Amino acid sequence: MSEKTAFAARLEQLTPRRRSLVRVAAVLLCAVCMVLGSPDHNQWYLAFVGWVFWLAAIEGLAPKKAFWLGWLCGIATVFFGFYWLTELLIRFADFPTWATLLVHFIFAAFQGLQWAVPAAALNWLRRRTGRDVLLLAPLCWVAGEAMLPHIFPSYLALMWCWQPLWLQVAEIGGVTTVGLVQLLINAGLYAALRDWLLARRVNRRALLVAGATLVATPIYGAVRMAQVDAMIADAPKLKVGVVQGNFGIMEWGNPRQKFQILRREQQESARLEAEGAEVLLWGETAYPFSYALPRGDGFDLPITNPRRVRRDFTIPLVFGVVTADRKVSEFAWNTARVLEADGRLGDNYDKVYPLWFGEYTPLVDPHWFKEMVPSASHINPGDGPKALRVHTGPEGQHEWRLGPLICYEDILPRFARGVAGEGIHAFVNLTNDSWFGKSKEQDQHMGLAVLRTIENRRALLRSVNAGISVYVDPNGRVLERIESTNPDEDGPTPASGFVAEVPMIDPDYRTLYTRTGELFNALVVLGLCAIGLRGRRKA
């Protein structure tokens, strides 16, 4: 009997009920590792062992049965890892608890396919080719991350978001490269443990794969971080003041409180300018008066107008605002605008990926959906990625190109790569996470956004209306951070902020991922197809 099927043979000695319980326990242990490894719990070391349980659970099963066990793992991981979705639906959509849990379960079932499909593909390929998990498991997982649709991305790299030394490989093929590293370690460890415990055989190949990956990955990270640090040191610097307005959804929606929100942001902007800021960044829809500013060329409102954007500060500002043009569409745009030092409204960018069923209604009539869910909205998607030009210095002689990402666009690696391709110096992200109160969502959102800095070697500045606002350098290190607040429950909160000295990386600089995009993922998928078509290898 092959050592590779020894685990399945041992299970056959148990009753069917006990066999099932052992496998279910294994996938649930994997789910526990995934949830505890998320950014808010930060037990990141569990990424080294979590998939050992997943691989043990599906060992020897038919592909269909592996699919169901993998799906259970994914549903449990997503349901408990994304529990903030239930809080959101209860709080703002006024769903009854049973309906909220049903929607949450449907979401977890859909997202959980990311665990189910690779499990089935892995076992199908093992039966067809006779190969072990060492090669197939990492490739199947990467193919799943690359090809399966996401509502909220749940890449494995999220478990290492605060460990930049282990993330540097993301510049090679994107976020899925990190998943490949994690599965190489887990598959090697699983195969070595399986063969030793069940057959007392030393699987040297498995130990070599796991050991080499464990050593090579941080070495590569250390070397690349030192090289990028040298590039950061040589780059021109721009002092950016990031303002966190600290206002909630209810507060923003109250017409009597909008002036207070604006005034607090203006006062914090003035403070940051006094600290040396040359450019300011406000969050998504941080300017609270929708439709007050023109979409096209124009100027700030007169100084006598209480809705004027600039007051008490003089430097350029990038800010979020809802804009409209009734001649073009009855619906609005979620826009990032530049207010230059001379009061001119410069470049603008419209959010390209509005959130489904929150900002955008696919498949059904948006008017009907808004009647059903009054807190929902429908906005026009933008045309595509672009750079925002901001001018500093006397007479604006210095032009900086900032790459705008609104809300969850900073967790979309392919879109962010497109923004980087516009020739930018740094990323700016304008976000409103106030919908989620203070929950796991803020850490998960921010943790995924960190990867964009390494993939494209551009700094990221995030202004989030109630946090978490950060500055992340091109090595993925979080150097400035303002924690999240919950003004809707805690009452009005003063705005806060920081000034970051940001390296303006050469707009023509490209990482391998920025240049090649999905080539790495395509090679993985093609490799799996070639292995499958070739069939069982010769003994």
User: Which pLDDT tens digit goes with each residue over 326-370?
Assistant: 888 888 899 999 999 999 999 999 999 877 666 766 666 666 666
Q: Which of 289, 295, 306 is nearest to 252 (CA)?
A: 289
- Provide the β-strand partners of residue 337: 319, 348
Q: Report pLDDT for 92.
A: 63
Q: Report pLDDT for 357.
A: 65
For 104, counting Cβ atoms within 10 Å of its Cβ (0-12 exposed, 13-18 middle, 19+ buried), the class is: buried
User: Cis peptide before 185, with omega less than 30 degrees from 0?
Assistant: no
| Helix, strand, coil share of the chain (percent; to 5) | 50, 15, 35
Q: Report pLDDT for 539.
A: 47
State which H helix or E strand residue 273 sits in.
helix 258-274
Q: Report pLDDT for 164.
A: 97
Start-to-end C-alpha separation, the chain: 15
Dihedral over alpha carbons 342, 343, 344, 349 (to 10 degrees): 120
Q: Report pLDDT for 3.
A: 46
pTM of the model: 0.90
User: pLDDT tens digits, the chain, 539 residues: what are they?
Assistant: 454 455 556 556 666 778 788 899 999 999 999 999 989 888 999 999 999 999 999 998 999 999 999 999 999 999 998 877 777 776 666 677 777 888 889 989 999 999 999 999 999 999 999 899 999 999 999 999 999 888 777 888 999 999 999 999 999 999 999 999 999 999 999 999 999 988 889 999 999 999 999 999 999 999 999 999 999 999 999 999 999 999 988 888 888 899 999 999 999 999 999 999 999 999 999 999 999 898 888 999 999 999 999 999 999 999 999 999 888 888 889 999 999 999 999 999 999 987 766 676 666 666 666 666 666 677 788 898 999 999 998 877 899 999 999 998 999 999 999 999 999 999 999 999 877 777 788 898 999 999 999 999 999 999 999 889 999 999 999 999 999 888 888 888 899 999 999 999 999 999 999 999 999 999 999 999 998 888 666 54
Q: Report pLDDT for 1.
A: 40
Q: Which of 235, 371, 345, 207 is nearest to 287 (CA)?
A: 345
